[in-house]
Amino acid sequence: MIKLPQPERDDCVLRHLLDRQAAEQPGKVYLKNEDGREWTYAQMRQAVINAGAALQALGVKQGEHVFGWMPNCPEAIIAWYAVNYIGAVYVPTNTAYRGRLLEHAIYLSDAKVGIVHADLVPRFADIEVSALRDVVVFGGTAAGDARLRFHPSEILSRAAQEAPLERPIEPRDSIYIIFTSGTTGPSKAVLTSYAMMWYQNPEAWPIVSQGSRFLLSGPLYHASATGWAYCMLVRGGSVALIESFKTSTFWDVIRETGATHCVLLGVMIPFLLKEPPSPRDKGHPLKFVCTSPWGEPCLTFGRRFGTTMYTAYSMSEIPCPIVSEANPPKPGVAGKRRPGFDLRIVDENDYEVPVGQVGELLVRSDRPWALNSGYHKNSEATAKAWRNGWFHTGDAMRVDEDGYYYFVDRMKDAIRRRGENISSFEVEAVVQEHPAVRECAALAVPNELSEDDVMICIALQPDMTVEGKDLIDFLLPRMAHFMVPRYIRILQSLPKTPSAKVQKEELRRQGITPDTWDGAAAGIVIKRDKIGRP
């Protein structure tokens, strides 16, 4: 058996990485913001040391948690790195949270100190703030809450004497706590070690190098953006930070920032492909795109814009155990198993299913701290996810004879119709191909006889319309007869979780509404395909 590497402190602990890069290439730009501001490695390290010393002065000790609630901005990265530099644990939190969601996140954070944007401070007013007492405020001033002591952000930039660490920071220590999306219930707080971060991106993607610049368009409270920021620190590369993805300005941003790598998820690629072709389509520095889900539009994107395309499978709890080669030839693939990870596809009793059959994906690793360290303050969820010595992803997948893995659906989102198991994920991918459809969600609704019927909820492109029958005519040649939806509901927008994932539970609760189009009531009968015998 080949012994795979395990990271030492100098390989993965953020404090050591920042010290090393600042010593080896002090003048190289690590962070470039969309407004033109830049930080070299030496400047980044000094800003981090100053901010870390200020946090220590506020009482933050090694191993304690710091609540982060900031939009994408350079100050958010400096704050995160400063927390880690003093051996504390960062807890980045969704800026859409409010009310009970926010209260729950603050409770899970166990933080006494927070770093928060001024525009978000008023949301503290009507909730319990648990242990939170000191709040550093960016982007303005705050006052009026007797429970909290507010501090101006300037305290983080003043030169101060850093207190020494109580002990070395180890690869097994937590770098941060990341929140799950909360699509099936209250968000869970994932304990993420430095070692897991190293396994997630630096080890998974050797094609990323010192000369790479990664565009961070995803929010810095999601594992994708944080993972790539960390990866570029390991590699000695750089990041370009923007507030969020926008179709209309994407290529301008790529050119202005010099970004060579990025992630494009969900509808981003279809949105960019719908833009009119331009002579400048290949006139940009972008060379590498990681995307999911994988399909023909991804290859079309690569050909049109001259980029090399990859896909992968990952979660907040596990570090990319499945990755693809460049431009994988099979539609729907997630990639192949990475060395160092064991994968099983199992039934409801954890027994392995045959090749080609759909089941739940389980993951484990023979290297310590390579996966999540559990859910903070939720031992029941941790035990359920880690039963029988494997991490249960909750995702339905299959593997073919060539070792390619295919994401089918979340286990809870599978649809059973006419004796067939239907992937809502696959239904959505086809519906999304219609030019009028901006986004969609497929779900099961009760059939008056038995099993399920398929319903799709869609939001349309601006100034576009589509009739139910016309959409069915579009879908019939593109999907199996049993997948074609009976019900179509058009909304202005789909309900979302604060992490921008569609809230299917809410759509299921609303069910078949008066404005839902019913194909059966419209007289549409979809029959099984007739296949002649040889």
E strand or H helix that includes residue 194: helix 194-200
Structure tokens at 483: 């997948």
Distance between CA atoms of residues 424 and 455, nearest Å: 10
Greatest alpha-carbon pair distance for the chain in Å reads 83
Domain assignments of the chain as residue spans, ordered by start: 1-22+33-194, 415-518
Four-residue CA torsion sign, 194, 200, 201, 206: positive
Distance between CA atoms of residues 438 and 403, nearest Å: 33
Classified as helix, coil or strand, 408 is strand
The Cβ-side half-sphere exposure at 91, using a 13 Å CA radius, reads: 25
What does pTM read for this prediction? Answer: 0.83
Residues of the chain with pLDDT under 70: 1-3, 182-186, 418-420, 449-450, 498-499, 528-534
pLDDT for 321 equals: 96
Q: Are 337 and 322 a contacting pair, CB within 8 Å?
A: yes
CATH number of 1-22+33-194: 3.40.50.980
pLDDT for 162 equals: 87
Give 66-85 pLDDT, tens digit per residue: 999 999 999 999 999 999 99
Integer CA distances (angstroms), 235 to 5, 290, 356, 372, 505, in order: 16, 17, 38, 23, 41
CATH number of 415-518: 3.30.300.30
Beta-bridge partners for 177: 191
Rg (CA), the chain: 24
Could you tell me what percentage of the chain is helix, strand and coil, using 3-state DSSP and rounding each to the nearest 5?
A: 30, 25, 45
